[in-house]
Chains A and B, each alone.
Chain A
């Protein structure tokens, strides 16, 4: 596990956010969830976004994941202006550039691992032979080569999350956006998933981890802390050293 501490050189800029805000209308009140956040993420980064609930962490994640657009500010993804995009253009960006991993796995319950992993490829318009080949390959890469025809309820929690990771990876996205990926797993399985992310990072993927757990965030090479809709700290060296405790 000596690779754990190796920081890979970063590549070109992928995400460029400047002074974005997000307002939510709740009844008669307008709540400003993001008060002006600026963030730059490069290729080959492994970044954790942290913060207590209500800090705007989820809102920022939705922005980064192109699930939502900011009220104001600039957001460029691979040089493309996301803030101005309509629903379908955002869907295309999510499909090609972002791999989502959710806390609750969000697999289709009645579909096999293979069909779950194929889903983003269907939306990308890839033919079925290529789909099956790539999905099988990706599932094998995450260690589920012998589970491709199993349905989610025939898999353990860790295996389900691996299927979800394979689904996130299958379209070769620019970033992997993981929202509390170990939140529904026991700590041992959680560590296995984190080891998988480490492996993905070492293979050159860009990973954004959204979590409130310090020992999970410790796996990242850079940590961004949010509080009250603002970035409180953003420092590669601010990764808590509990990480070393967790691994030893």
Chain B
């Protein structure tokens, strides 16, 4: 009996993976086409963003309240922003242009989301890794002290971004307010999200409040892994985990509601 169920789940999983792969390839071709560098834009674009911000901050000699080199600070901070901000942006409004695909019964709303999330997280991750390696190679950056902690922070940020993205993507189908409000919200959250400061540099009274922002915890973990003892990182791992799990449950619930209600043209 149990074996039978495992087989069923395995079959379903392979179908779902097939559908997500098909959607992924379709999305890559639709977004990047076969012109000039094609799908390389997937990570060249975030790399350009990060590099631009790094150069700007270096020129402006930005005050970030620590002795860290500005390059390292900008790379870890801005890459993290790209990770949690681009996923929701791509998932809001993702259902509408793909409605007609729902005629293929194996294609579900969640597959459309997952394909886009994989693409977006993949792009941000490749960009982060390639830039890190490049900066290390040319000597602007020291290699991370503890790679596994960097990975942990990065994965948690990605999880947070993905859950937020699915939740907003599903709710946006019901109310266009989500789309309208997301842009100002994400813009304002950018400086507040830990990209532009270290919690340690804040006044002690403000640190508590900064850590209420879930993304701040993620960025601090990434920097903890990158810089080790050079900095004093502040974060609450269980708080961030709780956010991720609660958002995931909410997101999946909303996705189910939306899948029930959608009307293909």
Answer whether A and B are interacting partners: no
